[in-house]
Amino acid sequence: MRGLFLTIVILFLLIFTFLAGIGSGLLISGGSSFTSGDKVAVLRVEDVIIDSQIYLESIDAIAKDDNVKALVVRIDSPGGSVGPSQEIYSELKKLGKELPIVASIGGVGASGGYYIACATEKIYANPGSITGSIGVIAQFASYEKLLDWAKIDVEVIKSGKYKDVGSPFREMDETDKQYIQELIDNVYSQFKSVVASSRDLGTEQVDSIAEGKIYTGEQALNLKLIDELGTINDAVSEAGKLGGIEGEPNVINFPKKKFSFQDLLNSKFDTSLLTGIPTKSRFGLFYLVDIIN
């Protein structure tokens, strides 16, 4: 009898967990996906950008939905890896040829987040939003002295002089630093070129503001880095008008991801305490504002 009771309790808990999971997934993915008629899609780019796949899949789904007449890219991100940021930017530029795209910067839309905003035809931000941070960063930790203290030797066998650049097992020499600086300068030039072309700014003007500085939304408006001060509701309203939607538009949210405890752990704790660089991709170049440390 006791065994039967335990079986019933376990089954009840499993069913409850399953239903709760479905509910959480619907809440996070946005129940508005079931609305009909003309829609404005909202693509939420959040947290540190390490992997672009979920955003690329969302952009593809938006492009295939004939009922979506406009897109708002809602950005709450300090940036992230250069490659994924550029991929999202490129796919948005392609989609922009088919439908109007507006950006809305929430709390932070800086560095790689701002890079993505530059793919849109109009950028909104709140007066106190943090944006800008036009620049590139690479950070490396050296454990050489720690290894010496612990009397641990590390043998490295490599095929070329620069194969272990950035290794934590040795300090970088001046040649290494110059090599990394050349990479950073090249990617930095790419960033400035995107800002200049998307914001219709001259090279000298971009150089004067592209020093890695962050700006409030109000300052960014004066510097022509954004177009309007306003909320996400203002951005959705404007996108609806640009998309030819009469009245208040229906909104559909992306990405449509299901919640998992592992996702929560990855998004909130997957950073290095020593460097602030995400542990999944600690080596690399980043469009990343450093105010989060």
Measured between alpha carbons, how far is 74 from 116 in angstroms, rounded to an integer?
10
Q: How far is CA 58 from CA 73, 173, 267, in A?
A: 11, 43, 18
Measured between alpha carbons, how far is 7 from 267 in angstroms, rounded to an integer?
35
Cα four-point dihedral sign 14, 270, 59, 53: negative
Strand 101-110 relative to strand 79-81: parallel, antiparallel, unpaired? unpaired
Per annotation, catalytic residue among 77, 81, 111, 237: 111
Neighbours of 158 (CB within 10 A): 10
Measured between alpha carbons, how far is 279 from 269 in angstroms, rounded to an integer?
9
Per annotation, catalytic residue among 94, 158, 161, 163: 163
User: Do residues 283 and 166 lie in contact, with contact meaning Cβ atoms separated by under 8 Å?
Assistant: yes
Active site residue 189: no
Residue recorded with tokens 């530029």: 93
Measured between alpha carbons, how far is 195 from 211 in angstroms, rounded to an integer?
13
Cα four-point dihedral sign 196, 55, 59, 68: negative
Neighbours of 172 (CB within 10 A): 15
- Under DSSP, is residue 156 helix (H, G, I), strand (E, B) or coil? coil
Active site residue 163: yes
* Cα Rg of the chain (Å, integer): 23
Active site residues: 111, 163
